[in-house]
Amino acid sequence: MTDNSSIDDLFDSQEDRPQRPKRKKKKVWRKILVALLVIVILGVLGVGLYLWNVGRTFDNNANKLTDEQIFGTQRPDDQKEDGGTNILLLGSDEPMDQVDVNDSRGLRSDTIMVMHIPESGSNVQVMSIPRDSWVDIEGHGKAKINSALSTGGLPLAVSTISDFIGTELDHVAIIDFEGFKALTDSLGGVMVNSEQAFEKNGYTFEKGENVLDGDEALTFVRERKSFQDGDFQRARNQQAFIRGLTNEIISADTLSNPKKIQDMVKNFSPYMYVDSGLDAQYISATAFAMRDVRPGNIEFFTSPTAGVGTSSDGQSIVNVDEEELKKVQDAYKNDTLDEYVQNAPESHL
């Protein structure tokens, strides 16, 4: 990993920021950690003595972004009535230590996921959004959803995806894909169930179970050209990797090894760029609040689509099923996404 001193200089310290008043209703879930970090922290469940140290490790290694860098001039309204917590995860193919996050125009995110944590804390839903989804981007008309980051930086990307799910995003993270490699190797490999057999970068992935090291995992979550339905299969592969990762983290071998947990967070966190509201206290509280969540309680699906097409300017796009999307938006807004997922249509071409 390259020296992070140049990254640290980009971001102002958040330590002196006054704490905002908290509504009782949100006192646990405003502390939720972003995307894959939630899955990482699940590995700490049952090892309560080490929760604080793990949180401090994350604090010392992760890259914090200011509210202005992520949301523009202000954070989402803390008094919103929507239930649950929504977390945006953007996966970057480019090394983030070479990107000026203050001016992220020109950067595209090939992975877009929105994680929903219900207020009950009993389960988790993760929705993948195909990067070529044809949507409205404020001030720019119709375009591919991943172009919002390139066009207007993080604030436009966040507002576009917020409009897409019909409610506000509470937290945001960008994860450098190299983080997948570091996390996988820190666990000694991850068992992943692949829907299809394919070859890429000299690696062969069999249909069914595959044990992946870090380099193989990176290829597995990135590849799309090997599949007839491209980004759709890539999204399912990323979901399969997260399932396998979760199973490995919650395994007895990991839970009984505090040093492995500490090393796992230490190795992974430098590849994360997260909003300023996440610190050791939040991580510890989140891990405790989600102590009953297990791999079977994490549900994955893809945002509703209506096939592929061609835009008026000749781009290959993914059309959005607007009627089905309204159901998704209602579910995010009303904290009923767990009910929606039970009958969600699977997105294939």
pLDDT 10s digits, 27-54: 443 443 444 555 554 444 444 445 667 7
The strand pair at 316-320 and 141-144 is best described as unpaired
d(CA 115, CA 89): 8
Local confidence band at 18 (pLDDT 50, 70, 90 cut-offs): very low
Q: What is the pLDDT of residue 129?
A: 94
Phi, psi for residue 191 in degrees, rounded to 5: -85, 120
- Say if residues 134 and 320 touch (Cβ distance below 8 Å): yes
d(CA 251, CA 70): 35
The strand pair at 85-92 and 171-176 is best described as parallel
CA angle 226, 94, 279 (to 5 degrees): 120
Local confidence band at 74 (pLDDT 50, 70, 90 cut-offs): low
The C-alpha torsion from 200 through 205 and 210 to 211, rounded to 10°, is -30
3-state SS string for 141-160: EEEECCHHHHHHHHHHHHHH
Q: What is the pLDDT of residue 339?
A: 93
CA angle 55, 91, 232 (to 5 degrees): 130
- Say if residues 227 and 196 touch (Cβ distance below 8 Å): yes
d(CA 240, CA 180): 13
d(CA 112, CA 89): 6
Between residues 219 and 57, the one the model is more confident about: 219
Residue 170's alpha-carbon distances to 61, 233, 276, 338, in angstroms, are 22, 28, 11, 18
The pLDDT of residue 153 is above 80: yes
The strand pair at 208-212 and 85-92 is best described as unpaired
> How do residues 90-127 score in pLDDT, each as one tens digit?
887 666 665 656 655 556 677 899 999 888 877 889 99
- Say if residues 1 and 270 touch (Cβ distance below 8 Å): yes
Of 235, 108, 86, 217, which Cα lies nearest the Cα of 162? 86
> How do residues 201-253 score in pLDDT, each as one tens digit?
999 999 999 999 999 999 999 898 999 888 889 989 988 998 898 888 777 57
d(CA 315, CA 309): 8
Q: What is the mean pLDDT of residues 188-206?
A: 95
* Domains of the chain and any CATH numbers: 47-348 (3.40.630.190)
Give me Rg for the CA atoms of the chain: 19
The pLDDT of residue 308 is above 50: yes
CA angle 297, 56, 84 (to 5 degrees): 35
